[in-house]
């Protein structure tokens, strides 16, 4: 669906994106991750045809893409990080969607708008002014606007930033629902715990360079040198940890109050072996929990940076970059 070859963007002497090679497949949820200033925004603007690459190529649906390919742009839906309140706040949700439906040239737009508003539980507030919408409502309305022309690829930039837990779940469920219907979804987000739940594959970039592009399972297993199993027992005999360390698959064993903390290899599931060992000694596990490496931990290993750590670069202020010579490209 999307492929880049040696995609590079420079702002003066600063290289925001350096020889980036991405490959987004049809029907997948693709997470595009990186610290602030890593090159995510610049990459997305190039993929949308808003910024022109310094060098390299972009292919959409197997065809070479440029800002002039309006036929390809029409197949893209975009949900920006900023919500549509701004200049539209005097409009009702219905008026806002009708305006964009007219711009898109959508036939029978009233049916399409009603269908999408029902999917995100906004139909009852269709005639409510957008200035009275919550952040979560605005986010869902922005998604509806992006889906009006039924795009093949949906771009989402920080789709759940600032939402409460209920709003996060609603947006997550909606993304999964759209993907099940065959829509390819491209997400850029700092909320890595959510990305771990829904993405099929992720790309991680840092300093404008691609550091990893893998399926979620492959990425996590590649960086997982050991797993941790915690077992709650009513009582832990003094010699139990030393006995556990004698087992071939136990890397380390320790205790925290009435909880065993076991380090095991990541190659397979050893919980049955652990339970069998304990039950043979008349020790009944009250709780057995396996903790695997998280996407956030892998992200930190790859980038060496916190997801919220700011970086001083033109990437953090795209308007500055545009003002210094990019306006003609817009």
Distance CA 135, CA 88 (A): 14
Helix axes 93-104, 109-119, angle to 10 degrees: 130
pTM: 0.77
Name the band, by pLDDT with cuts 50, 70 and 90, for residue 86: low
DSSP secondary-structure letter at 161?
A: T
* Closest among 42, 37, 144, 154 to 83, alpha carbons compared: 144
How far apart are alpha carbons 142 and 156 in whole angstroms? Answer: 10
The CATH architecture annotation of domain 226-291 reads 2-Layer Sandwich (3.30)
Q: pLDDT per residue over 19-65, tens digit each?
A: 999 999 999 999 999 988 889 999 999 999 999 999 999 999 989 98
The per-residue pLDDT for range 235-291, each reduced to its tens digit, is 999 899 999 999 999 999 999 999 999 998 887 888 899 999 999 999 999 999 888
The DSSP symbol for 188 reads: E
Q: Which residues contact 135 (CB under 8 A, 6 or more apart)?
A: 83, 162, 163, 167
H helix intervals, the chain: 40-47, 70-73, 93-104, 109-119, 135-147, 165-180, 192-198, 216-222, 240-245, 271-280, 295-303, 318-323
Q: Is it true that 2-75+152-221+295-329 and 226-291 share their CATH fold?
A: no
Delimit the domains of the chain by residue range: 2-75+152-221+295-329, 226-291
DSSP 204-233: EEETTEEEEEEEHHHHHHHT-S-EEEEEE-
Residue 307's pLDDT is what?
A: 43
- Pairing of β 14-20 and β 2-11: antiparallel
Class of domain 2-75+152-221+295-329: alpha beta
């Amino acid at each position: 669906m999307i492929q880049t070859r040696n995609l590079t963007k420079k702002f003066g002497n600063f290289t925001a994106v350096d020889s980036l090679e991405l490959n987004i497949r049809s029907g997948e949820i693709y997470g595009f991750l990186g610290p602030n200033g890593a090159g995510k925004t610049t990459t997305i603007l190039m993929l949308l045809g808003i910024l022109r690459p310094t060098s390299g190529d972009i292919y959409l649906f197997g065809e070479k893409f440029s800002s002039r390919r309006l036929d390809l742009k029409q197949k893209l839906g975009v949900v920006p990080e900023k919500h549509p309140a701004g200049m539209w706040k005097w409009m009702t949700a219905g008026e806002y969607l009708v305006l964009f439906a007219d711009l898109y040239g959508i036939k029978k737009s009233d049916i399409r708008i009603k269908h999408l508003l029902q999917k995100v539980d906004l139909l009852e507030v269709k005639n409510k002014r957008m200035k009275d919408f919550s952040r979560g409502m605005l986010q869902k309305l922005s998604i509806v606007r992006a889906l009006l022309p039924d795009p093949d690829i949906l771009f989402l930039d920080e789709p759940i930033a600032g939402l409460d837990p209920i709003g996060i779940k609603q947006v997550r469920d909606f993304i999964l629902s759209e993907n099940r219907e065959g829509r390819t979804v491209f997400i850029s987000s700092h909320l890595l715990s959510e990305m771990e739940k829904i993405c099929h594959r992720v790309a991680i970039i840092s300093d404008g360079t691609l550091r990893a592009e893998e399926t979620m399972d492959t990425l996590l297993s590649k960086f997982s040198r050991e797993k941790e199993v915690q077992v709650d027992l009513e009582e832990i005999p003094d010699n139990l940890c030393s006995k556990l360390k004698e087992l071939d698959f136990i890397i380390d064993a320790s205790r925290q109050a009435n909880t065993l903390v076991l380090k095991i290899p990541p190659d397979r599931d050893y919980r049955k072996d652990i339970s069998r060992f304990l039950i043979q000694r008349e020790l009944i596990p009250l709780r057995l929990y396996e903790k695997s490496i998280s996407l956030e931990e892998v992200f930190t290993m790859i980038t060496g940076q916190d997801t919220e750590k700011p970086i001083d670069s033109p990437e953090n202020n795209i308007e500055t970059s545009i003002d210094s010579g990019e306006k003609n490209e817009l």
